[in-house]
Structure 1
Amino acid sequence: MQDAALRLKTLLEQLLGAPLPVRVRAWDGSEAGPPGAPTLVVRHRRAVRRLLWKPGELGLARGWVAGELDVDGDLYEALDLMSGLVWERGEDARGAWDALRDPEVRAAIRGLFTLGGPFLPPAPPREEMRRHGRLHLHTKRSDKRAVSHHYDVGNDFYELVLGPSMVYSCAYWETPDSPLEDAQRDKLELVAGKLGLQPGQRLLDVGCGWGSMAIHAAREHGVSVVGITLSGEQAAYARKRIAEEGLTDRIEIRVQDYRDVVDGPFDAISSIGMAEHVGSTRYLEYAKSLYGLLKPGGRLLNHQIARRPQADESTYEVDEFIDAYVFPDGELQPVGATVGLLEQAGFEVRDLESIREHYGLTLRRWVANLEANWPAAVKLTSPGRARVWRLYMAACALSFERNRIGVNQVLAVKSLPSGTSGMPLRARTWG
Structure 2
Amino acid sequence: MVLVVGALVAGCSSASTETAPPATTPDSGILAGYPTDHDAVSPLLISALAPAPVPVMGTDGKVHVVYELEVLNFSPREATPTRLETVVGGPDGEVVSTLEGEDLARQTLVVLGEGGSIPLGDTGVILVDDVYDSHDDVPVSVTHRLSATFGPASPDLADAWESSFDGDPVTATGGPVAISSESPVVIGPPLAGAGWYAWNGCCGPSTHRRSFFPVGGRLNFGERYGVDWVKPDLTLDAAAIAASIEAGYLPTFEDDPTDNDAYGAYGEPLLAVADGTVVTVTSGMPDELPESAPTGLSAAELGGNYVVLDIGDGVYAFYAHLSPGGATVEVGDEVTRGQVIGRVGNSGNTTEAHLHFHLMRAPAPLSGDNVAFEIDAFGYAGSMDLEADPFEGFTPGPDAGARADQLPLETSVVDFPEVR
Q: Same fold (TM over 0.5)?
A: no
Question: TM-score category by the smaller chain?
Answer: under 0.3
- Which structure carries more helix by proportion? 1
Instruction: Give the TM-score, by structure 1 length.
Output: 0.25
Larger Rg computed on CA atoms: 1
Instruction: Give the TM-score, by structure 2 length.
Output: 0.25
Larger RCO: 1 or 2 (CA < 8 Å, sep 6+):
2
- Which structure carries more strand by proportion? 2
